[in-house]
Structure 1
Amino acid sequence: MSSTTTTLRIVEPHLVHHFHKQNPRFHLLQFNNKTKLNRLNYSSKKFIFNGGSFCNYKPSKVQTVRATSIETALVEADTVLFTETFPLKRIQKVEGKISVKLDQVKNKDKWKLTIACDLPGKWILHWGVNYVADIRSEWDQPPTEMRPPGSIAIKDYAIETPLTEIPSAGDEKKSHEIQIEFQRDCPITAINFVLKDEETGIWCHHKGRDFKVPLMDYVHDDTNIVGAKKGFSIWPGAFGQLSSALVKSEGFGPKGQQSTSKPEDPKKNTKRLEGFYEDCPILKEVPVQNVLKVSVRKAQEKDKRFVFVHLETDIPGDVVVHWGVCRNNDKHWEIPATPHPPKTNIFKKNALQTLLKMKEDGFGSWGSFSLDKELKGLLFVLKLGDNTWVNHMGSDFYIPISIENSTDVEESKSSITSTSAEKEAAKEAVAYTDGIINDIKNLVTGIASEKNRKTKSRGAHALILQEIEKLAAEAYSIFRSSSATTVEEVVPDATLEIPIPTSGTGSGFEVLCQGFNWESHKSGRWYKELNKKAEELSSLGFTVIWLPPPTESISPEGYMPRDLYNLNSRYGSMDELKIVVKKFHEVGMKVLGDVVLNHRCAHYQNQNGIWNIYGGKLNWDDRAVVGDDPHFQGRGNKSSGDNFHAAPNIDHSQDFVRKDLKEWLCWLRKIIGYDGWRLDYVRGFWGGYVKDYLEASEPYFAVGEYWDSLSYTYGEMDHNQDDHRQRIIDWINAANGTAGAFDVTTKGILHSALERCEYWRLSDEKGKPPGVVGWWPSRAVTFIENHDTGSTQGHWRFPGGKEMQGYAYILTHPGTPAVFYDHIFSHYRSEISALISLRHRNKINCRSAIKITKAERDVYAAIIDKKVAVKIGPGYYEPPHEEKWTPAIEGRDYKRKYPVGSKYYQLCEEVGRGGTATVYKAVCLPFQEIVAVKIIDLE
């Protein structure tokens, strides 16, 4: 038996002008047979990534500046130049356990399954059963008598039951517990479940897969279940995969897969049901609040050329200050000359690391630094004992130390911030306009190439020419807005800033977060929960968040709207929606509203009993419903798209309908503060109507959901998906480029490429990306999962265990990447954050240039903007040697199969070291498979 190793690697060119704040490292984990891990505290990858992003920058020359050190507490000083208290938000891991117990109920012919968790939280058991001889369904709902009180049915396949808090004695942890009773002779082969913490949104399962408690009254001879065995074995990367109880059975495959064994009479193969009790250790991440106090004082007369910086924090344990100084407003890190404070080490010739002193009372630590007054500022981040990095809202801490006078210190803070922001804005504007010029060139080239192919109509040529004209006008508007002016207009504080309409792509540097999943409505307070996560999402690098549908709806998820002006939904009230939108604006993020324009549920029935008469402010009659859907007897015109048969389809050709919808969208922009739209089911109506709606509401960013099936031949995906992506681009063209579209083509191709190790699929015949991103990247919104494809619906789930390869692709490539909420708040969080940081650091945008350098069976490689090289797959690839490259992010995805119940462990032996890379030989028993692993250690 062999295993397949897939390597994902991203590198950046050697940079010499900047130093990044975070310097995490990868580690190779070592396990023994006593370790019990699960999804919450272990990733199946061989690397644990402890920081947001990093880069091994090595300046060609380090300029030294004068500094000195002191070993005592803060030196007495004359004048306080600066003082500030910074709130620190960090994540702390809390240890706990999940207990699973199966025993017989006394004096009854019943058995009882008890599942308990001793970690704090609002725990929900999401569960179902497998029935005897039923190989068609992966999950089914249990019998009514088996469901504990408080259980809620989830569609027709599962049950959700809240765990009950069990009072604890003394200082013991509070436990949460659920008990499920069932008859010994019930026709159930297994109980499937996952645990969900509603406070954090984290699902305790393994990459979207369920876990099984086999009921051993019914087993087949070829079933790979070992529930009768004693013992408890946890596989790396799997949450609570129990060799005796929680088993991912090979005998019960997912939907659509046929079993190789025939169903037998359950009475022929029976086995005595045995009880068990097992514990599984888990970790939960909880937010922790601390503070950092910083003061700058002017020295006494005898040391008047120095200033003294004092740092004090209440963070427990070892705290290291990772620091440097700067001379100018560009905040370029420099290393001070010796002497340095005690317990200071030089870090990679880029910065210093000083261990703070423990306070006398043991609660926190402190440190003091004396610096030359001619310096501009002190730059630093904190590194904790568990390799956690703490920064200031996603940036370095910056302390001004220039002392011409105390007033200049405060002024310098604001001036430095504004100057830096202006420079960044200028750079983004240049990059954006360059992208527009490239778009124009590509369109002109496209027209020229048609002379040979002659496949485009005159209408298509006209659309391309319109796009060129539109892009040129946009570039000219940017040029005009960037012209210098000497007139300054004072705007009152109460004046609202009116958003400037764009081409549907925002700045081009957006990273989109889908801020919900299919279950988010259940708490009834989703807006409040998102409000708490706003700063966290902003610090991870997201610039735009997509909120769920806001309107009152027949379905709780919001996609069957009725009264469009009633914004009290299952996600929260209208006031709570306003508050969360305002909060995201405060942390620098744009907000998209999910608007359903294709269909609308009616309030009343007509004389035939058909629901097609509307109430509320938009009290339309049946003329607003298309006339070619027999289900709803509309008197409107024929539909301009595909019908959605679950609700009346709106006739957008009616003037009064378009007028009302324009007013509604503008009202949402003004009253709620939405910055743009996610447009649901745009296949249902012509894109030209979308153009009217967007030109009226002037969104900053807009994206449409144009869902279509890819091309297959005899069940296998075709390599050429040009027809599929052309249909999406045709819709974008019909909308006149005012909105982008989700790149469904790229998602589908990634499915086959990663799942089947067919990386050649990631390049089309012309050597470009094969999805919409290859033809019109500025309008392609790339994604790997959303509330429909993943979450609890799982209509088209991304290949299990391949998620980070998918994100490595979309977060480094052109287009606008979108990240699914469930993946952000999971064990993928740190790796996703690292990729987003890499994208921002290298200014990768929706129009970035891409050169695919390799696309073969087992490896894909590309270079983006000549800044970032990406390699995915187990095959060999190294970037060109003309430039110096330094490793940026490296992860591994192992897909191995082991006999159920076998013991797994690793023996690590160092076999070589060179530069910043340490190579280990990992021997994986029992298969004696040797794997060469490269560990990037930036320390």
Structure 2
Amino acid sequence: MSTVAIEPLYRYSPREKPLCHCRAKILKPSSLNFSPKLLSNGITSFCKFKPHRAYTVRASSTDTALLETFESSPSFFKETFSLARTETVEGKIFIRLDKDEDQQCWQLSVGCSLPGKWILHWGVSYLDDVGSEWDQPPKDMIPPGSIPVKDYAIETPLKKSSEGQVFHEVKINLDPKSSIAALNFVLKDEETGAWYQHRGRDFKVPLVDHLLIDGNVVGAKRGFNIWPGAFLPNMLLKAEELPSKDQDSNSDSKDAKQENKHVQGFYQEQPITKQVVIQNSATVSVTKCFKTAKNLLYLETDLPGEVVVHWGVCRDDAKNWEISAGPYPPETTVFKNRALRTLLQPKDGGDGCSGLFTLGKEFIGFLFVLKLNENTWLKCKENDFYIPLSSSISFPAQPGQRQFEGVPVSEKTEEANQEVSQVPYTDDIINEIRNLVHDISSEKSRQTKTKEAQESILHEIEKLAAEAYSIFRTSIPTSTEEAVSESEPQETPTKICSGTGTGFEILLQGFNWESNKSGRWYMELKEKALEISSLGFTVIWLPPPTESVSPEGYMPKDLYNLNSRYGNIDELKDLVRSLHEVGLKILGDAVLNHRCAHYQNQNGVWNIFGGRLNWDDRAIVADDPHFQGRGNKSSGDSFHAAPNIDHSQEFVRKDLKEWLCWLRDEIGYDGWRLDFVRGFWGGYVKDYIDATEPYFAVGEYWDSLSYTYGEMDHNQDAHRQRIIDWINATNGAAGAFDVTTKGILHSALERCEYWRLSDQKGKPPGVVGWWPSRAVTFIENHDTGSTQGHWRFPYGKEMQGYAYILTHPGTPAVFYDHIFSHYQSEIASLISLRNRKKVQCRSTVSIKRISLFFHWKVLL
């Protein structure tokens, strides 16, 4: 009997608050017993929810009378609140190695019995490459619907295997004549962003001994016992029996047995637990009893089990909790003379529970939270639920709880502002605009009207829209994300924040993947400094400056050695000085997640560092599968090509803060572009930003979007939530590249699926729709485009992409290859338009209409 612990790298749901380094509740990893066994009756669900508890309730005559009074009176308030809670469910990962029907190839199957959007993140290692355990497999081995991850891995979605059963599976065909030594993988849950490993390391399936067919051995024969890493045990091997007469001597029997050992395959189950987010709701209605002048509040919910309402009342806007006078609902107790607790009673149908509360007319609000057990409380965005009573009926009701906790609270004002009714004159203008739009977009009109007539109608639409917008702005107060006043900006001093800069930044990526090859990139860029400034850019992002194993700079070695393939330290200083002279701010590309070592340890592993920061293996995370670190476990994802630095070590953070401060003082950097921030907790980023006080900072949180059978999902909320969670972990001190928006633009523009440009609430569907001031929008960079082309923007649609990001909130970033191409004049025109209209990172968007021919948005 074996025990296997599956530990998620991210141990929190994206709908919960990000992990706090000191006080966070960390989900305990599962440590369950299992025994490998073959399936006989198919796969069944392993989800185990707590059973509903049955109640027998007798309603009193008083309760019945109150309920009848409530039902007969009109409600002046009613709202449904969304409730998100998590439960731990148990399931299994299934791993099988079989031969196909014609016995020519092997097939590896990986499945999971839990519901979710599962992704197999995998790679291979080759016999002749002992220095790397993760490489991309041959193209003919990659299943359909897979996505490459840089140059070392593949991500393949698991597909539902059969109707009516919760089982997802992926199959990979293995060529026995290939030089693949092993297949490595981890399992990723796309819904939560959690990664599941085998005992804290990668799953590893060794293939050398498995692929012996008729003595045709590829590479050296290796026994399982000499392989490092976490191997899958219980391989079922069977030796083919040879006639005894064919054995010449006892001395050859051992070799003959080894050469004729053939694999019958294996099957194994691994236990897995998952935090599943379950959506429930609570509806609150309030009416007035005209006989007693008291308020009657009815609360019902579909939450299972015992639900306790922890509640109180308040007399003014200070919302100080008080205990109201009776009568109280059944099963009500007083809690520490500060609040009341009422156990909700099961509804007659058995679906959920409810309670009816009688509240005095002297109170203006009802405050409550829901208690499910000693450790589970449901709140409204970390605050109390607040229900206005009749004396405060003129006040707008507080919106229900949003499902995504990372969204800034202040954004809730936008929907309320949109509900303000307009004067009749504005309605007339809007109707006239609709008529004109219908007139110009109809098929008959396009055939009969001249080009001049159509342009005249467009000018008329523009004038009417401007007039309606003017009335709208003067009739209601404007609310932006951070309450920034746009009137008379010259009198308001600009507030600079590292997450946003001034809010009017336009960023240029000042290099591509090939820029290092000339050896004098700094000097070449210096010659373009004035031109870059004149095009309207305010910030430029420079390549990594340090000595690096790779010429592009993303495998740093000696952090204080700034002689790189782009130029030496003096040329870098000269470039920064020239860029400052033309008014540009400079971002340094800081690679903090990993670092290449200078020396090998006694085991031949490269994990001893040299230079000024001569760390040993304590600076490497303990769960890095390749570099034998002695630090703590990683707080993020693993980067397989170099040692992952342990940022939880105080000496590491101290050294990195000193290095970043040195770069600011010695070189003159104004801020940071932070590479691969998925690899470590955002709270450490906050520490580095607080120490260096940059003008602007942005992190690269590159994560896969949500797909179903190879098709991009319309709802990408889970993807952008993970980016929001990272920004929240930095306390908003850094922005993040809006990978969500880039992915959505791919499908929207390539397939004319413009409906993707609005989410379910009528907002932009990327990070820019939830937290625009922290979203750095882009369509291409050195990884996605250039000569790498890992995720290239649809060809010929580049200007449509720039038209979107340069006219929307957020901080737009332009790629070097695009601005210094035939697109330059068009991009410059869009930048000029953005500056003239004073579009900034906090501008709000109202999406009026989206269709194939017409996409009308109003920027406020």
Larger relative contact order (Cα-Cα within 8 Å, sequence gap ≥ 6): 1
Query: Which bin holds the TM-score, normalised by the shorter protein?
Result: 0.3 to 0.5
